[in-house]
Every structure is written in C-alpha cells, then in structure tokens.
Structure 1
Amino acid sequence: MSAVPAPDTAPVRAAGCVLWRPAQGADAETGLGIEICVVHRPKYDDWSHPKGKLKRGEEPLAAALREVEEETGFQCLPGGRLPTVRYLALGRPKEVSYWTAEATTGRFEPSHEVDRIRWLPPDEARAALTRLHDRTLVDALLEHLDPPV
C-alpha cells in the first residue's frame, strides 16, 4: 500500500508559460528576435511569468493556457515543456509546470490579479523578473526555440 501525503504537505500544483512573440518595433528592425511577456502582480508587487493553480481535475497544460489568457489577455500556441519549478510558498511546497508558448491574438486588460504586462527582449525580461527561478526559465525558453531566435 503506498503512502498518501498528508493534505497539508501535498504540493500546491500550478502551471504557466513563458510567453513570447516575434520582436516588435525597433527590435524587429534590428533583428533581435523575440520579446518575452512578464506580468506584474500587485498583490505581491513582483514580476513573473503568467501562471496559476490548477483547478480540480484540470490537466497542467490546459491550466497553463487558461492562466496565460486570464492574466495577459493573449491566446497562444503551446510549445515545448520547460523545467518544473519547485519551491516553498507560505511554508507549503509548490510545483509549477511550465511550457513555451507563442502569443497569437489578444489584448491585455488590467485586473486585480495582473495590473501590468511588459514585452521585453530576453536580457531585459531576465533582469525584470523578481525571482531567480523565473529568470532561469528565460534561458530554458531560448534553448528550446528551434531554430534559435
């Protein structure tokens, strides 16, 4: 018989995407490749990738795509799987599954959950992200894109 973790020690499951698009404006003219979307969450006053908790019975990729659209207003095409990030959140283990995702259509509308987004070149996105584990996902995205941009 396998042991089931106690409810208070089971990891909180979440999913998200490192959302990107081909460079716009001056970056497109200089051939700098892509821009990455970072979101500002006023509740935590941080910059992160769009992500959120899974709903009961929801598959991680479906949750990631839902969260991207809820937080950024953009629909996207999912790509490759990125590393799963594990950390403690309010004393509980949290596990966030990530994918690459190319933005397709949509428009951002501020909400209580995300009040701003920024589309930044990879180096600027890395610098803007609050947490180290979010910064490493930028590198993972760049390694995943094929052909590299």
Structure 2
Amino acid sequence: MDWVITTADVRDAGEVMTVQRAAYVSEAQLYDNPHFSALREPIEEIREAIAAGEVLVAKAGTRIVGAVRGTRQGEECHVGRLVVAPDMRGRGIGAALLRAVEARNRPEVRRFVLFTGDRSVANIRLYLKAGYLETDRRVVAETLSLVYLAKPSE
C-alpha cells in the first residue's frame, strides 16, 4: 500500500475537486451526460463538506488520489462522492475509502446508504462485495437509472 487515508483538511479542497472531476469524466462518458453534479460542484461546497468533517482522502505522498464523503442523517450515513484518480484505480483505494468511512461513522449510525448509476458496473460490484444490498432502482432521466444500496452498520 503506497497510500494512507486521513481526514481532509480545508486546504485540500482544490485537489479534492480535481480528483472528483477527473474521476467523474468516465461516468459522464458512460452516460453521455456532462452535467453530473459532481462535475459542477463549486469549491465552496467541497470546503463546507471538509469543514464539517465529512470528507476522507487517500494520499500517496502529498498527492490526493481518492476521496469519499460520509454524511450522517439521523441513524443513517449517506456515503457519496467516492472517487479515485483514474491512474490509481484497481489498487484497492476505493474499497479502503469505503471501509474507512464506515469505520468512522460506527457505531453512531444504524446503516449506510448510497447510490450509483445502473451502468456503473464496477461501482455496483464494489458495493456488493463490501456487503451492500440493492434496495431500489429509480429512473431519473431517459439515460439514467439510479441504483440504491444499503448496508447495516453491524
């Protein structure tokens, strides 16, 4: 493992935004939709999430190579914006970030919830392997259905 996971610092916001946008380009291409909110999220919102303590990052040296958010809402933790730099995929960073956000929010939450697009096969595979189960599918646009998944906190 050539990377470590840590809590993001507000000074990391620009690099988190860069990794997030780079990671979502492939999703935008997959769905032929360049309007994903992750590609347009203002840096101020990223700073707010970091300041709230919701963002974890994976760092290889000083470079941020991945990030994830865990937002508590009542007894649930909403996992989102799980991203890995395209050149660092396939090294277990996404799975490690997912485990880290879960560990950080236990035992305060009852379950973890997240969603991804129905064509995002690699994402769905990662979540199923991590113990998430599909709870719903919703058509949100002509070219996009969202797959909702959940996992008990254990």
TM-score where L is the length of structure 1: 0.26
Tell which structure's C-alpha radius of gyration is larger.
1
Kindly indicate whether structure 1 or structure 2 has the higher relative contact order, using CA contacts under 8 Å at least 6 residues apart.
1
- Structure that is richer in strand per residue: 1
- Structure that is richer in helix per residue: 2
TM-score where L is the length of structure 2: 0.25
